[in-house]
Amino acid sequence: MNRQILLGDEAVARGAIDAGISGAYAYPGTPSTEIFEYIHSQSIQEELEIHARWSTNEKVAYEEALGMSYAGRRAIVSFKHVGLNVAADPFISSTISGVHGGLLVVVADDPFMHSSQNEQDSRFYARFAQIVCLEPADQQQAYSMAREGLDLSESLNLPVMLRLVTRLAHSRSIVALAEPRQQNVRSLCPDTSYWTLLPSNARRGFERLLDKQAELRALSENHPANQLTMSGNGKTGIIAAGIAQGYVQEALGDRLADCNLLCVGFYPLPVDKVKKLIESSSEVWVLEDGYPFIEQQLTGEGMHRGLKVRGKVSGDLPRSGELTPDLVRAVFGAAKTPAVSLPGIDKVVRPRPPVLCEGCPHSDTYQIIREATRDYRDVRIMGDIGCYTLGFYKPHEGLHSCICMGASIGMAAGISHAGFSPVLCVIGDSTFAHSGLTPLLDAARENTNIKVFILDNSIVAMTGGQPTMATDEAVERIVAGLGVPSEHIKVIKPLPRNLDDNVRVVRDEIEYRGLSVIIARRECVTYYKEIKTAKSNREGESR
Ligand SMILES: Cc1ncc(C[n+]2csc(CCOP(=O)(O)OP(=O)(O)O)c2C)c(N)n1
Ligand code: SF4
C-alpha cells in the first residue's frame, strides 16, 4: 500500500487528485494555501491533466469550479474561512442549481485567528446552505473525505463542503493512499433550467434541495464518521467533532471506554444518535474547535440547562480561540502536556511584534506618506490586508483601519463623503485585483477626493509569494480603464534616495481636490526569486 507523510492540507489535495479532479481553483490564505500548492506542483510533477491556476478572488474561484462541474468534470475549490464570505453568493445559489460533476468546497477555518482578521465557523455556512459538511478527525480522514466528498457531490447533485481547522491543516501524519480514479469524461448538463435561476426555475430548485434533506439526515445517521459507542446508562457522554476526537482519546486514554462517545465528522448532525447519547448519559460534554455549533443545536443559548450539556455555551470552555489538547485535558482532570523548553532560549528569542522585513518597499512608502502629510490635521490612512497592514505598528504607525480585503478604498470614500480631508488609503496589488476595482470605479465616477496608494510589489507576499494577477503596466491600464484621469495616476519608486521627489508628487496630489491614484512600485525583497519566476511565466504566456 502506498503511504505518505502529508499535511492535512496536502492530504485533502491528494484525496482530490486521486478522486479524479479535472480542475483546482483557489485564492491564497492561511491555513488553506497548501491545498492548491500541492495540487499545482503534483500536477506538473506527475504530468496530470488538471487545470490548476490561482484565481483573482474566491468568488471567481468558486464560479470557475462550478463551470467545470457544469461540464461534467470534478473540481475542488479551496480557500480560508473568510474566502467563503467572498464566494458566498455563488456558493449558496449553487445549492439550488445543483452540480453536475462533483464539486468539493474546502474551507480552512482559523480558530484563534493565527493569521486572520476574524474567527468564524464554516459549519454554519453548510447548515445555512443545507448541504453536507465533512469534518475530518485526522489526515487519513482528510484524504478519504476529500475523495468521498466528490463522490457524494456527484450522487447528491450538490456541492459538498469539507471543513478543516488550522491544527489539522498544518500538521503531518502518515496517510495510506487508495487506487486513483480516472477523471470524468466531459458532458454538458442537459437540463439548462436547473442552472438558470429565474424565479420559476429557482423555486423548483429550492424544492429539490429541501426534498434532499431527509436523504442527508439518513446518510448522517449511518455514516461511519458519526460513530456512537455506548458504555452504559448514566455514564458521562461526550460529543467530539473533527480534530477534538484525537484530543479526547489523548486526554482520557483507557478511561474513554467508560464513557458514551459520539464522534462527529458528517453534518447535518445524526439526530437519533445524539438523542440516544443524551438520554443515556448523566451529562454531555461537547468538544468542538470553532463556535459552539453542535452545542447550540442541543441547548440554544443555554436555554435548556436541564439537559446538562457542557461546553462553550455553558461556560465550561472558552468561547473564543482554539480548542487545544490542554483544554480538553483540563476538562477530564488529566495533567497538562509537559512544555518543551530549551535552556537560555528566552535570551536568544525575544517576543516582538511582527515587523516589515528590512528593505521592504512598504516601509519607504509609509515614510513618503508620513512626510507628505506632516502639515495636515486629521489625516486618515485607511488600510487593507497584506504585509503593509504591519504599518499599523511602530515605527510607522501609519494605518487607521483594516477590515477585510478591498475595504480601504470604499471606507476612504465614506470618510471623504463625511467631509474629512486628506483621506488616503493603501492597498496591495493582489488585494486591489481581488476586490479593489469596484470601489475604485465608484470613486472614479464621482471623482471622490481620496488618494489611493496601490502598493505594487509584484507578488502576493503575505501568504507566501504566490503570483499576483495585476502588476506593472497592467495596474496603470486597469486604473485608467476604470476612469481615473491619466494626469492623476502617478507612479513612484519608493526608495530612500527618491524620498524628496516622491513626497513632492504626493503633496501635489493631496492639494488636488479629487481622486488620485499613486502606484508605489518596487519589488518585494524577500520573494525576489518567485517574482522572477512569475514574470518569466507571464512572458511565456503572452508569447
Ligand atoms: C477574503 C480573504 N482572502 C484571503 C486572505 C488572505 N490574504 C491576506 S492578505 C492577502 C494578499 C496580500 O497581497 P497584497 O495585497 O499584494 O499585499 P502584500 O502582502 O504583497 O504586501 C491574502 C491573500 C484574506 N485575509 N481574506
Ligand atoms: S515579504 Fe516582502 S512585502 Fe512582505 S514585509 Fe517582507 S519585503 Fe515587505
pLDDT tens digits along 371-380: 999 999 999 9
Q: Give the alpha-carbon dihedral of 255, 259, 262, 265, to 10 degrees.
A: -10
Q: Which residue's CA is minimally distant from atom 2 of ligand 2?
A: 524
What letter would DSSP give residue 6? E
Describe the crossing of helices 361-373 and 499-511 by its angle, rounded to 10 degrees. 50
Enter the C-alpha cell of residue 25: 481553483
Listed in sequence order, the DSSP H helices in 223-360 are 244-252, 271-280, 293-299, 325-331, 345-348
Is the CB of 82 within 6 Å of ligand 1? Answer: yes
Is any ligand 1 atom within 6 A of the Cβ of residue 465?
no
Kindly give the residue spans of alpha helices, DSSP state H, lying in 48-138.
58-70, 81-86, 88-97, 123-129
7: Cβ below 6 Å to ligand 1? Answer: no
Ligand 1 in contact with 83 (CB < 6 A)?
yes
Give yes or no for residue 356 CB within 6 A of ligand 2.
yes
Q: What is the mean pLDDT of residues 223-229?
A: 98
**What separation in Å is there between the alpha carbon of 359 and the centre of ligand 2?**
8
| Residue 139 binned pLDDT confidence (cut-offs 50, 70, 90) | very high
User: Buried (b) or exposed (e) across 310-349, using 16+ Cβ within 10 A?
Assistant: bbbbbeebeeeebbbbebbbebbebeeeeeeeeeeeeeee
> Nearest C-alpha to atom 4 of ligand 1 is from which residue?
29
E strand residue ranges, 359-488: 380-382, 423-428, 451-456
Q: Is the CB of 431 under 6 A from ligand 1?
A: yes
Q: pLDDT tens, 189-217?
A: 889 999 999 999 999 999 999 999 999 99
Query: Once rounded to an integer, what is the mean pLDDT over residues 181-186?
Result: 97
Alpha carbon of 365 to ligand 2 centroid (Å)? 12
Cβ of residue 455 lying under 6 Å from some atom of ligand 2: no
Vertex 296 angle, CA 293 and 297, to 5° = 90
Does the beta carbon of 365 lie inside 6 Å of ligand 1? no
Contact 184, 50 (CB under 8 A): no
The ligand that comes nearest to the alpha carbon of residue 455 is 1
Q: How far is the CA of 358 from the centre of ligand 1 (A)?
A: 20
| Ligand 2 atom at minimal distance to the Cα of residue 465 | 1
- Asked whether the beta carbons of 193 and 163 are under 8 A apart, the reply is no
Task: Sketch out the chain's domains with CATH numbers.
Answer: 3-222 (3.40.50.970), 228-331 (3.40.50.920), 361-542 (3.40.50.970)
Q: Give 2-55 pLDDT, tens digit per residue.
A: 999 999 999 999 999 999 999 999 999 999 999 999 999 999 999 999 999 999
**Predicted confidence band at 303 (pLDDT cuts at 50, 70, 90)?**
low
Ligand 1 pocket, mutate which of 166, 460, 468, 522 (most atoms under 8 A from CB): 460
Task: Find the 450 Cα to ligand 2 centroid distance in Å.
Answer: 26
Overall pTM surpassing 0.85 (yes/no): yes
Average of per-residue pLDDT across 169-181? 97
| Sign of the dihedral defined by the CA atoms of residues 222, 225, 230, 233, in that order | negative
pLDDT over 60 (residue 390) = yes
CA of 12 to the centre of ligand 2 (A): 29
CA–centroid distance, residue 535 to ligand 2 (Å)? 18
Cα–Cα distance measured from residue 309 to residue 302, given in angstroms and rounded to the nearest whole number: 9
CA-based nearest residue to 319, from 288, 360, 351 = 288
Q: Which amino acid is at 214?
A: A
pLDDT at residue 112, rounded to an integer? 94
Q: Which three cell numbers stand for residue 390?
A: 504591519
Q: How far is Cα 96 from Cα 196, in angstroms, rounded to an integer?
A: 10
The verdict on the CB of residue 431 being under 6 Å from ligand 2 is no
pLDDT score for 345: 86
Interval between CA 515 and ligand 1 midpoint (Å): 24
Q: pLDDT value at position 113? A: 95
Work out the burial of residue 369: count CB atoms within 10 Å of its CB; fewer than 13 is exposed, 13-18 middle, 19 or more buried: buried
pLDDT at 543 over 60: no
Q: How far are the Cα atoms of 292, 381, 396, 436, 488 from residue 421, in angstroms, in the given order?
A: 44, 11, 20, 21, 17
Q: Which ligand is nearest to the CA of 61?
A: 1
Instruction: State in Å: Cα 81 to ligand 1 middle.
Output: 13
Looking at this protein, which amino acid is placed at residue 148? E
Determine phi and psi for 184, rounding to 5 degrees: -65, 150
Give distance in angstroms: CA of 357 to centre of ligand 2. Answer: 5
- Residue 350 has a pLDDT of 83
pLDDT score, position 305: 59
How many residues would you count in the chain? Answer: 543
Residue 343's pLDDT band (cuts 50, 70, 90): confident
Question: Pocket of ligand 2, candidates 30, 115, 358, 360: which has the most ligand atoms within 8 Å of its Cβ, to mutate?
Answer: 360
Measured from the Cβ of residue 373, the count of other Cβ atoms closer than 10 Å reads 20
Residue nearest to ligand 1 atom 11, measured at CA? 386
